[in-house]
Structure 1
Amino acid sequence: MAEQEKNRISVEIYGHTYKIVGTESTGHMRLVASMVDDKMREISMNNPSLDSAKLAVLTAVNSVHDLLKLKEQVEALEEQVKKLKG
């Protein structure tokens, strides 16, 4: 199986530059970085005493929480579709 072409970009997240490598489009990777930056800044505004490491962990916890809630919603919708088809 051929390996997908990898894109490499530099992004800024919370004042730091990171090099990101991935098979997604550069636009997608920039959007992800922008969303992480926005979430970190939002959390920082509400918790100005957090250091960068704690801020990053809290951002990750919030992001995974959001992901799990979305998965639950998708599962509930899939169940509704099954019922409608059945």
Structure 2
Amino acid sequence: MAEQQKNKISVDIYGQTYKIIGTESTGHMRLVASIVDDKMREISVHNPTLDNTKLAVLTAVNTVHELLQLKEQIESLEEQLKKLKD
């Protein structure tokens, strides 16, 4: 199997520059970085005394929480769809 081409970009997240390498499009990687930056800034507004490490961990916790909620919503919608098909 051929190896997918990897894209490499620099992004700014919460005032820091990071190099991101991935097989997704650069637009997708920039969007991900932008969402992380926005979430960190949102959390920072409500918790201005957090250091960057704690802010990053809290951002990760909030993001995973949102991911799990979305997965539950998808499962619920799939069950509803299955019932409608039957």
TM range (shorter): over 0.9
Tell me the distance in 1 between the aligned counterparts of 2:85 and 2:46. Answer: 45
The 5 A counterparts of 1:42-81 are 42-81=42-81
d(CA) in 2 for partners of 1:84, 1:45: 44
C-alpha displacement at 1:18, in angstroms? Answer: 0.1
1:15-34 alignment, distance < 5 Å: 15-34=15-34
TM-score between both structures, scaled by the size of structure 1: 0.99
1:9-59: per-residue Cα shift (whole Å, max 9, x none)? Answer: 000000000000000000000000000000000000100000000000000
Instruction: Flag structure 1 segments of 5+ consecutive residues without an equivalent.
Output: none
3-state DSSP of counterpart to 1:8: strand
CA RMSD of aligned residues (A): 0.3
The number of residue pairs the alignment matches comes to 86
Could you list the structure 1 runs, at least 4 aligned residues long, displaced by more than 6 angstroms after superposition.
none
TM-score (normalizing by structure 2): 0.99
